[in-house]
Amino acid sequence: MANKPGYWNSLHGFATILLVGAALYFLFVEHGAHVFPFLPYLIILLCPLMHLFMHKGHGHGESGHGEHNHQDTEQAYRRGLEEGRKEADRK
């Protein structure tokens, strides 16, 4: 499998960062007097959104699947280890 760069390292990711940065700059510079009084509330409102994005890969809501996957990985590792030892003994 090829090592594909992530979205944020691509040209589209760079353009997204640039556009969001420009939007935030103009929001705070041009409309800072309107935004700053609500900044604590905006930060609190971002908490659930950050929670959703940060727990994306944890498998919440999939009861028991993570443990089963761990057991499969452990069995595959042990099987590969035994096969490697057998091959090394043949040589």
Is 3 part of any domain? no
Q: Higher pLDDT residue, 22 or 53?
A: 22
Is 39 part of any domain? yes
Cα separation of 21 and 14, whole Å? 10
- Per-residue pLDDT of 66-89, as tens digits, reads 555 677 888 888 888 888 888 888
Number of domains into which the chain is organized: 1
Share of the chain residues as helix, strand and coil, in percent rounded to the nearest 5: 80, 0, 20
Domain that holds residue 68: 11-90
Is 2 part of any domain? no
**What is the SS3 assignment for 83?**
helix
Is 4 part of any domain? no
Check residue 49 and give its pLDDT.
85
Residues making up the chain, counted from first to last: 91
